[in-house]
Structure 1
């Protein structure tokens, strides 16, 4: 590692595109599986979805003997605790990130921001990111909204040089395998014409992405306390996506 404290955001202005899920999955995989030091700043006020997920994870690990044992075994093996999840508001996102790095050094700091560039402080917070990944899906409404968002960020922040942004990428999410042919070729042609980049790896549309800690102790996928279950990772493309992202953002 030549550089640390790289700030990353999965960001879009369309709700339900998967930015929060991608933030958690990527942060947890990099921390618990790959060994990187990460932190998450949850600025998605007032939902604070990631902070609330952390609360649920801790509650389950405290009250459920199965998860209590799992957590003990994991943190004993790793010899470190959970990565920090800090709440903030969009207009103070960059300040919160700076406060984090003053206390410790992180390889990656992920920011989860509200899904609109019109909210106070969003553009400034985005301008302070090193890399932005924008989830998109083949739904026409979602795609058009996401492309407008990415184009606006590219025009107002990246092209003008008025930001720290080193890279802006689209990420195909919730892909229906039956459609990943001509339809996506047409969409990617439009994306290329807009001067936008898209990652090679895509995530399929699968219910596994919603699996959290449960009383039934089913294999989990989305958690701030544990990495995605290895069996569920197979076929999810999560490992390939994280590797591709790591190659881009980690210098």
Structure 2
């Protein structure tokens, strides 16, 4: 049995998009690409992805369009929704390993981690990821926080004996189309000076990334744990380009 790849979108600043990117990548890989995916929600105590799954399930009971799309997806793929494992950071790896030893097979395990590495349990879990992707936006607070986080991971986590982290990348999110591209190029020069790699794909700041199912509207859905991103909303989102670039990096 081939070992799954452990991946985390991780940063310490809320609003950078780590949970959204985790869900979008999981749903796209599982429902569209047919990969075996496990999501591990370690974002204690709020458990944002579990909360999103709970909202999706409630919408199934109310919104007929959402339910019809869900049933059609299950008929076409013959698959149940991907599992979401709830665990505190210090317990996450043991819980994942137990599932693997029980016979569950995964191509990729996506972790949603808390926004701190000052906790020893979180730091240990981060050190056992294969790849880390740090979302960053051209907002002063997010930028400074994400950069500080990445440098701390570089200096204190990736250098640990037993660390599994092969590579870490910064990921541009919430890119404002009105900003000149050389602004981001200058920031990337700073990343490079700090020996931090950057994903080439830049994700635009668009409301579709926050578009979930609705209890009372029959609308296309982009962010869901039960459905893939709607095809009409994928155009211009650059999500597919990001997924393909990441798959190339992690060799899946």
1:240 equivalenced with 2:236 (yes/no): no
Which residue number in structure 2 is paired with residue 138 of structure 1? 138
Indicate conservation of the 8 Å contact 1:3/1:250, yes or no: no
Post-superposition CA distance 1:25-64 (Å, at most 9, x none): 0010000111101010101011111001111111211333
RMSD: 1.4
Which residue number in structure 1 is paired with residue 57 of structure 2? 58
Q: Could you list the runs of 5+ residues in structure 1 that have no partner in the other structure?
A: none
Indicate conservation of the 8 Å contact 1:90/1:120, yes or no: no
Which residue number in structure 2 is paired with residue 119 of structure 1? 119
1:152-191 to structure 2, matched below 5 A, reads 152-160=152-160, 162-191=162-191
**Structure-2 separation of matches of 1:83 and 1:179:** 37
**Count of aligned pairs:** 250
Q: TM-score, normalised by structure 2?
A: 0.95
**Structure-2 separation of matches of 1:91 and 1:63:** 37
Indicate conservation of the 8 Å contact 1:41/1:110, yes or no: yes
Which consecutive segments of 4 or more residues in structure 1 shift more than 3 A? 159-162
Q: TM-score, normalised by structure 1?
A: 0.96
Compute the displacement of 1:157 (Å): 2.4
Which residue number in structure 2 is paired with residue 88 of structure 1? 87
Indicate conservation of the 8 Å contact 2:11/2:134, yes or no: yes
Q: Could you list the runs of 5+ residues in structure 2 that have no partner in the other structure?
A: none
Compute the displacement of 1:180 (Å): 4.2
**Structure-2 separation of matches of 1:147 and 1:122:** 18
**Structure-1 separation of matches of 2:101 and 2:126:** 20
**Structure-2 separation of matches of 1:245 and 1:113:** 18
Which residue number in structure 2 is paired with residue 27 of structure 1? 26
Q: SS of 2:65's equivalent? A: helix
Indicate conservation of the 8 Å contact 2:81/2:226, yes or no: yes
> Residues 180 and 36 of structure 1: is their aligned pair in 2 closer, same or farther, counting only changes over 3 Å?
farther
